Structure 1
């Protein structure tokens, strides 16, 4: 439910992720975007290809705080199954500059 997410950059990120749309996903990010998974910085392109796109990742938002820049969500993909996760986003110039994902 992306209607809980007030920040348009984060909403675009989640919608693109859920649609499996690589082009829209990259468009939601700054060119120098970074990310971390469970506190460890990862290569964004490699991680999203493996954990999102080829494994059919899907994010179901439970709660959104700070205009949607902090989410608790059920995340599922064909590799790991479903898990409760927390996502934090840094937005710059209307795009996601960094996201941090981890188990909630």
Structure 2
């Protein structure tokens, strides 16, 4: 069963999913702290390159099935034009200012 994006517990994560699903690159970038980092399947990636390739130029979309860790860990069905749909896990680190300092994703 999918969790409605508006009902996600953590405000930064909720905004992240909203920005991905509405293809709002500018809004997405404002959610990230300066120097934010990310990893995909356990390997650190270049953030700007990855989000362009995996989210914005390929119509990325998240359907969240489960959240834990106060809303900072998600299981989601992630779809984009490159890879189709897959079950993925997402974990977020959010700074004191409410901005995301790191996220990690990979197949669940």
Unaligned 5+ residue runs, structure 1? none
What is the deviation of 1:34? 0.4
Whether contact under 8 Å (1:4, 1:63) holds in the other structure is no
Give a deviation string over 1:7-32, Cα, whole Å, max 9, x none: 11111111001111010000111011
Structure 1 segments of 4 or more deviating over 6 A? none
Give a deviation string over 1:32-84, Cα, whole Å, max 9, x none: 11000000000000000000000000000000112210000000000000000
TM-score by length of 1: 0.97
Determine whether 1:99 maps to 2:84.
Answer: no
Counterpart residue number, 2:48: 45
- Residue pairs, 1:6-45, within 5 angstroms: 6-45=9-48
Whether contact under 8 Å (1:4, 1:64) holds in the other structure is no
Whether contact under 8 Å (1:65, 1:71) holds in the other structure is yes
Pairwise CA RMSD: 0.8
How many residue pairs get matched?
A: 104
